[in-house]
Structure 1
Amino acid sequence: MTPQDICLIRDSWARVEPIAETAVSSFYQRLFDIAPELREHFASTDMAAQHVRLAQTLGAAVANLDDPATLVPILRKLGETHAGYGADVGAYDKVGLALLWTLENGLGPDWTPDTREAWTRAYGFIVENMLIGAASAEAA
């Protein structure tokens, strides 16, 4: 990611944060619309708490995009945890689609092609490191 990507992501996240509760709710609705099979992974989950965790995790990722020494271990640990939930590459792809859709809908006209590309690159970085963590967990 470039410094411009990081600025675009941080600027757009600053616009989403005030509506984070609505955005996260929309995210999960969209995720379950496009991937109803993932709903079973959340059957015993306190979704209100899950909404808070997702918003906090995204906020932490955004805050540390320019500090990979801090962000990468967090993402790899998250990947290890998600491996235990049965998350696979297909699930990550669907989460990415739902995330981009949510950001686009939340940002409206502030969702530019450059912002989309920046978030796409950031999500790719996040997934890459989570998958490394998942592979590490599976190898152990």
Structure 2
Amino acid sequence: MGNTPAVSCLTDGGDVGSLNKYLTARQLQLVQDTWDVMKQDLPALGLTVFLKLFQTEPDLKRLFPKIVQMNEKNELEWEVDKDMLQRHAVTVMEGLGAAVESLEDSDFLNSVLVSIGQTHVKRNVKPQMLRRLWPSLNHGFSEMLGEQYTKETMEAWRRLYNYISCQMKRGMQDPEGKLLDDAETT
């Protein structure tokens, strides 16, 4: 998990928009097959992921002021509104599912992921924060899949998450969509 080297975004001459540069056909199939299992209980998956995130990255709780309760000293409490957290977590997992179901259409997938990145800028999410979600996702996937979550499957999901992060970073770096608009007109 922690010893796996990060996959860098393809930016220097690489095709940042092509998912098949990131994942093999086998990896795509592993992701789709395991998603079919995990999507059966998105509330459990989402809650597992976000509770782990709050446990391992407590400073990120500040990004969720409606979910994480503040005390009278205006300090974050450990207690969270689990119902609201679960609703948010399901929304995030549904977004992940939409990405998995759009793996065959890189252009559509990229536009959605860039847009998600743009909206996260408004929530004060920084590009470097995206990588901090992976260990919690990895934990949630492992919990949901058990023995089915092999090293090969984990690597496929890690590479997909890196791809998703790269596309979201593009949106975060261009929150108004100006660079994309300029690229389309040239």
How high is the TM-score relative to the length of structure 1? Answer: 0.93
Q: Do the aligned residues in 2 keep the contact of 1:65 with 1:71 (CA within 8 Å)?
A: yes
Match of residue 56 from structure 1: 94
With CA pairs under 8 Å and 6+ residues apart, which has the higher RCO, 1 or 2?
A: 1
CA distance in 1 between counterparts of 2:135 and 2:103 reads: 20
Q: Do the aligned residues in 2 keep the contact of 1:6 with 1:66 (CA within 8 Å)?
A: no
CA distance in 2 between counterparts of 1:10 and 1:80 reads: 26
The equivalences for 1:63-102 within 5 A come to 63-102=101-140
CA distance in 2 between counterparts of 1:74 and 1:23 reads: 22
Superposed CA offset, 1:50-90 (max 9, x none): 12311210110100112101100000000001111121233
> What is the DSSP-based 3-state SS (H/G/I as helix, E as strand, rest coil) of the residue aligned with 2:125?
coil
CA distance in 1 between counterparts of 2:147 and 2:162 reads: 23
Match of residue 20 from structure 1: 42
Identity across the alignment (%): 26
Q: Shift of residue 48 of structure 1?
A: 3.7
CA distance in 2 between counterparts of 1:27 and 1:90 reads: 18
- Shift in alpha-carbon separation, 1:60–1:17, aligned structure 2, 3 A: same
Single out whichever of 24-33 and 48-57 deviates more from structure 2.
48-57
Q: Shift of residue 106 of structure 1?
A: 1.1
Which one has a larger percent helix, Structure 1 or Structure 2? 1
Q: Shift of residue 138 of structure 1?
A: 6.9
Match of residue 5 from structure 1: 27
> What is the DSSP-based 3-state SS (H/G/I as helix, E as strand, rest coil) of the residue aligned with 1:37?
helix
- Shift in alpha-carbon separation, 1:100–1:53, aligned structure 2, 3 A: same
Single out whichever of 123-132 and 86-95 deviates more from structure 2.
86-95
CA distance in 2 between counterparts of 1:48 and 1:20 reads: 9
* Corresponding position: 1:111 with 2:149: yes
* Corresponding position: 1:44 with 2:82: no
For the aligned residue pairs, the C-alpha RMSD in angstroms reads: 1.5
Residue ranges of structure 1 left out of the alignment (5+ in a row): none
Which stretches of structure 1, 4 residues or longer, exceed 6 Å deviation after superposition? Answer: none
Which one has a larger percent strand, Structure 1 or Structure 2? 2
